[in-house]
Chain A
């Protein structure tokens, strides 16, 4: 089955530690995205990538980093500089312009 896989589904980390969220897709999509979801705020774009080895900041990139070394993979690192990292993180992909985004099942990150 084609789709987007995010792992793990739940993640706990201590404050001050960096953590990397995994996102893999086998849809052969060029574009990939990371969104953050907080209650009552909808989804906000963190980073996106339209092609391998290229990515751009979204609306709330501070405290996050990404890489896009392979077409199918777009990992997100939440660094210690992110002041409020506890949230639900969603990865998505699309074929490119004028097409809808397909979403993974999300990773719920809790920082204690």
Chain B
């Protein structure tokens, strides 16, 4: 079985500050890991994915995440927050070699203040 834990249901940062959203996973086999973003009343948009290639993954909108097997983590970062980054962010895991049946974390709502 696989699972995802997102630490912090709400994170608030000032515009221009570092964004750090935490994700830890549990998987008995090599995982595929994803970060999605959701704006209010919208579907989910893929930010980035890890599929066992480079451990540092760059995504859209200046986000990146680093896969750390020893820490079972896949934290999402962005050097400088923008007001448009305010949204809900979901970390998800799927099992390599299977259909993309994702297990999601409970989400982190990012607030960006002036």
Contacts and interface: CB of A to CB of B under 8 A. Distances in A.
Interface string A54-77: 000010000000000000000000
Contacts of B42: 105-106
B25 interface: no
Interface string A90-110: 101010111111111110100
Given A40-B106, A98-B96, A45 B43 contact: no
The range of chain A's interface size is 20 to 34
A19 to B, nearest CB: 19
B82 interface: no
The range of chain B's interface size is 20 to 34
B49 to A, nearest CB: 5
B41 interface: yes
Contacts of B106: 40-42
A105 B44 CA distance: 8
Contacts of A94: 99-100
Interface of B: 9, 32, 34, 36, 41-46, 49, 51, 90, 92, 96-107
